[in-house]
Structure 1
Amino acid sequence: MTQQPGTSPDSVGQAYDVFADAGATTALGGNIHVGYWDDDPGLPITEATDRLTDLVAARLDLRPDQRLLDVGCGNGLPALRIAGAHDVRVTGITVSHQQLAQADKEADGSDARDRVSFRFADAVDLPFDDGCFDGAWAIESLLHITDQTAALAEIRRVVRPGGRLVVTDLCQRQPFTGEDRTVLDGMLDVYEIAGINTPDEHRARLAEAGWQLLELTDIGEQVRASYGHAAAAFRTIAASLEAPAAEQISAAADLMDAFGKHPHAGYVLITAQRT
């Protein structure tokens, strides 16, 4: 795993706050994660991102009134969608004050508001009792954590035996080398990413943390269109900003576009279980 030195909960939270202030966190139709296209390439980005949320929910083996943990809840939309569709209770955590405020705002206007709550918390030091959740998910959040094994072990601690964890995250199908490292290193720097695993590294960290792997699938081709959508939206936003925010968002757009077009850029959908 190529790792970015100095990434911390504070720096990650501050980065998301900057993007939120610029309006960039709505670049993917409201959700702050990629979309999923299968047999309908014309599907709108908003529906495609919801489809990724639904893929996560489908693997959690949900039943009414279960308690779920959303690790890196973003603006709260996935938690609200899953809580509303499956009659479960969701606690979301984030290290961004802006995201926390936005998630609370989204909850206020949702029919699922009584089934969700959001907290400012770090995934490697969760403020919850052992085994208090029936399952958990992490959508594009583990890549921001320097010690992913510690985070996975902490998530395992708060999930009951038999509970599931679903992870979606970027991956390197093959390590970026030579000039390609410029794209990868730029992604790590601009987006405050601690590291992007290979599939084998994802497997190893789950095993080290005590999770039993049930599924690991590379859905990179089904999500690839997301990067172009995000880059185009970022460039539109940058045109309306002044320096230095405009330069930062423009750089983020260029890196997003280049990474999304690279054949080594994959995306994993993982299901694991606490034995």
Structure 2
Amino acid sequence: MTSQTDAVGGKYDQFAQAGTTEALGGNIHAGYWDSGAEHVPMAAATDRLTDLVAERLALRPGDRVLDVGCGNGFPAVRIAETHDVHVTGITVSAEEITRATALAAESPAADRVAFRLADAADLPDDLGTFDAVFAIESLLHLEDQAAALARLRRFVRPGGRLVVADLCQREPFTGAAEAVLAGMVRTLEIAGINSEQEHRDGLRKAGWDLVELLDIGENVRPSYELAAQAFRRIADAAPPFAAADIVTAAELMSAFGENPSSGYVLITAQRP
């Protein structure tokens, strides 16, 4: 594993041990709020984003699905249960593997969900072939997203779909916002946040056919402040090694969410 991989795995181990995933309602990704549904709690909104991803995968019962950056397993288990498919989740965090495996063991889809320690930048050849793959807020941790997307393509059958949910920059961050972006990158072990065009270019370079790219930034925007509030609540009780990072992450997420240049893309692509 690369040093970037070790850093990302360590960061998510740290956040998991501090209880941040529980504070966010289980998932560790943004939520999606439909217009007029701003009262919906974070846990329901994050599940809603998972469902939007699953809808775009065009799944059929029995399909094999790869979850790249599976977190603590909530999306993988939810998709396996609701779509009657087999899901393999990969992550570079050993702590997340432990939690995801425990979650899956309690699910009626327990025999259709599995998790393993693996790096999306260097996928093991024994993964097998999948009908679909999704990545929720995981590609931004990779130094070379296009290379990872190209390798992912090798594990998906022709005609199979890729769905990516990730942050994006609508416009370059300038002035004081540059410090916020730099802080996000440093504190959350992010390799970079793409523009929409960079997302498009990466997919094209990797050999995927773009089906749809939506900027759902306004629908996910409440996530940042809600996550910041949750992080602040647990910081006092967090282990000393994690508390400072949690507080810093809270302030950065709040500032990032307030910036109109912060977007969020939901991308659907297909292997030719």
TM-score range with shorter-chain normalisation? over 0.9
1:137–1:166 CA contact under 8 A, matched in 2:
yes
SS at match of 1:149: helix
The answer to whether the aligner puts 1:178 opposite 2:175 as a matched pair is yes
Q: Structure 2 matches for 1:95-106, cutoff 5 A?
A: 95-106=92-103
For 2:102 and 2:126, the matched residues in 1 are separated by 27
Runs of 4+ in 1 over 3 A off after TM superposition: 128-131, 241-244
The residue type paired with residue 176 of structure 1 is F
| Greater helix share, structure number | 2
The answer to whether the aligner puts 1:19 opposite 2:19 as a matched pair is no
2:170–2:261 CA contact under 8 A, matched in 1:
yes
The answer to whether the aligner puts 1:148 opposite 2:145 as a matched pair is yes
For 1:26 and 1:186, the matched residues in 2 are separated by 24
1:171–1:268 CA contact under 8 A, matched in 2:
yes
For 1:202 and 1:242, the matched residues in 2 are separated by 37
1:180: how far off?
Answer: 1.1
1:7–1:145 CA contact under 8 A, matched in 2:
no
RMSD: 1.4
- Match 1:165 to one of 145, 149, 162: 162
The residue type paired with residue 19 of structure 1 is F
- Of stretches 233-242 and 129-138 in structure 1, the one that deviates more from structure 2 is 129-138
The residue type paired with residue 100 of structure 2 is A
The residue type paired with residue 118 of structure 1 is F
Q: Structure 2 matches for 1:1-275, cutoff 5 A?
A: 8-39=4-35, 40-128=37-125, 132-241=129-238, 243-275=240-272
1:7–1:194 CA contact under 8 A, matched in 2:
no
Stretches of structure 2 lacking an aligned partner (at least 5 in a row): none
1:29: how far off?
Answer: 1.1
CA deviation string 1:227-265 (max 9, x = no partner): 111100100111223544322211111001000111000
For 1:140 and 1:273, the matched residues in 2 are separated by 19
**TM-score (norm. length: structure 1):** 0.95
The residue type paired with residue 20 of structure 2 is A
- Of stretches 21-30 and 239-248 in structure 1, the one that deviates more from structure 2 is 239-248
For 1:131 and 1:274, the matched residues in 2 are separated by 16
The residue type paired with residue 14 of structure 1 is G
Q: Structure 1 residues 130, 242: closer, same or farther in 2, change over 3 A?
A: closer
Stretches of structure 1 lacking an aligned partner (at least 5 in a row): 1-5
Quote the residue 1:3 is aligned against.
none
1:166–1:271 CA contact under 8 A, matched in 2:
yes
CA deviation string 1:3-55 (max 9, x = no partner): xxx96111100010111111112332110101100131111111110000000
The residue type paired with residue 94 of structure 1 is T
Q: Structure 1 residues 128, 66: closer, same or farther in 2, change over 3 A?
A: farther
Percentage identity across paired residues of the two chains: 62
For 2:43 and 2:266, the matched residues in 1 are separated by 19
1:129–1:158 CA contact under 8 A, matched in 2:
no
SS at match of 2:133: strand
1:78: how far off?
Answer: 0.4
2:76–2:89 CA contact under 8 A, matched in 1:
yes
SS at match of 1:82: helix
